[in-house]
Structure 1
Amino acid sequence: MKVILSACSLTLAALGLFWVFGLRINATASMPRGVYLLAPGAPERGDLVSVCLEDGAFATLALKRNYLRPGSCPNGLEPLLKRAAGMPGDHIEADQDGIAINGRLWPQSRALSRDSLGRPMPEAENFGSRTIPEGLALVLSDRHPGGFDSRYFGLVPMASLRKVEPVFLIVPKGE
């Protein structure tokens, strides 16, 4: 029992140090799995970003369905890693094909009705056709059609975005 408690304590301490030094771990399929480092500067369109979910209902769903694990965000979850797909002033249009940003369809951005385990997904954010207002951003996965991102929980505050850069990526065979 002491060995298990010691191992758990060491693991938690290591994760705490990772966080303090700006390292983020991504174990989900929505972005390349691996270790990322917080980078200086304000995020720009196309940058990889770390973002904490603020909405209680979506945070609860993400934890309940294991889309996110407990972590260091103010709501107690780990941060999401996504692409800053749309920034203030960008025009977005959503339809059955996905989300177009400034006239270009974002890859694999069609909202799905069910997740990979067949559970119903929350109704997709109805962006319609509009301009992203100041202070908000659209974050999307660009490599996984089932990414839990802005197509479900909507626009996120720019202030919550932190730019990240990959440090070590785990590349599956065949990629």
Structure 2
Amino acid sequence: MRANIHKPHWNRLHWPFITGLVVATAIGSAWATGWRVNMTPSEPMGIYRMMPLAADTLIRRGDLISFCPRVKLEPFMVHGSCPNGGAPFLKEVIGVPGDMVDVTAAGVTINGRMLPMSRPIAHPKDWPGLTLPVDFGETKLLPEQYWAYGSGLPKYSFDSRNWGVVGRADVLAVQRSSR
């Protein structure tokens, strides 16, 4: 009696393979042309079109920037391509060169105007035992320095309140403000 041997049906993988290849190509193309998906509440969730930062690009108040912060990788940060091992952040530029920024326990002021819900977060409720750095004090933003702020839901944002200024050299891309 002959054993019933089942031969693999590799042809069944033909369409799933093609579909996967098309999806991967579409995602790669979207990423390469500047499209980003934001799933965090620090900026409104959605799809953003970021433009690479050119040498002559002026970064303005209200622009969104994608950048690599110079902080250690925190447990809530997504792993990615930044030098610290994390993924680039997406934040609003709220302070530009020449602005005076003051961080106190009560919140952040830019040129004397208090930002809404800007009290620094040193001990996030969702991460017991975690202590975040807080950059207290006054800072006058120098040329090529910016203050990044999670304006979508600032009371939960990890931003310049925690690590200080963002240097132009750390900015990867920008989306112009519609304001």
TM-score (norm 1): 0.75
Please give the alpha-carbon distance, in whole angstroms, between the structure 2 residues aligned to 1:136 and 1:45. Answer: 12
- Match of residue 99 from structure 1: 108
What letter corresponds to residue 104 of structure 2 in structure 1? Answer: D
Question: Could you list the per-position Cα deviations for residues 43-92 of structure 1 after superposition, in whole angstroms to 9, with x for gaps in the alignment?
Answer: 2012122112233x1xx21xx32x3x233445553221111011111011
| Residues 98 and 106, structure 1, Cα contact 8 Å, conserved in 2 | yes
What letter corresponds to residue 34 of structure 1 in structure 2? Answer: G
Moved over 6 A (4+): 7-10
Count the aligned residue pairs.
156
SS in 2 for 1:18: helix
- Match of residue 169 from structure 1: none
Matched, 1:28 2:40: yes
Unpaired segments ≥5 residues, structure 1:
167-175
Moved more, 97-106 or 38-47: 38-47
Q: Indicate which of 146, 159, 163 corresponds to 2:174.
A: 163
| Residues 145 and 167, structure 2, Cα contact 8 Å, conserved in 1 | yes
SS in 2 for 1:32: coil
- Match of residue 135 from structure 1: 144
Moved more, 33-42 or 97-106: 33-42
| Residues 49 and 82, structure 1, Cα contact 8 Å, conserved in 2 | yes
Q: Indicate which of 53, 60, 63 corresponds to 1:44.
A: 60
Residue 18 (structure 1) shift = 2.1
| Residues 108 and 142, structure 1, Cα contact 8 Å, conserved in 2 | no
TM-score (norm 2): 0.74
Please give the alpha-carbon distance, in whole angstroms, between the structure 2 residues aligned to 1:150 and 1:24. Answer: 21
What letter corresponds to residue 36 of structure 1 in structure 2? Answer: Y
Please give the alpha-carbon distance, in whole angstroms, between the structure 1 residues aligned to 2:108 and 2:85. Answer: 29
Moved more, 114-123 or 78-87: 114-123
What letter corresponds to residue 69 of structure 2 in structure 1? Answer: L
Moved more, 113-122 or 90-99: 113-122
Please give the alpha-carbon distance, in whole angstroms, between the structure 1 residues aligned to 2:23 and 2:86. Answer: 17
| Residues 37 and 165, structure 1, Cα contact 8 Å, conserved in 2 | no
SS in 2 for 1:117: coil
Residue 14 (structure 1) shift = 4.0
Q: Indicate which of 106, 114, 117 corresponds to 2:123.
A: 114
- Report the CA distance shift for 1:72/1:24 in structure 2 as closer, same or farther (over 3 A): farther
Question: Could you list the per-position Cα deviations for residues 95-131 of structure 1 after superposition, in whole angstroms to 9, with x for gaps in the alignment?
Answer: 11111001111112111232241433312112x1231
| Residues 121 and 132, structure 2, Cα contact 8 Å, conserved in 1 | no
- Report the CA distance shift for 1:12/1:45 in structure 2 as closer, same or farther (over 3 A): same
What's the % identity of the aligned pairs? 29
The higher relative CO (CA closer than 8 Å, separation ≥ 6) is in 1
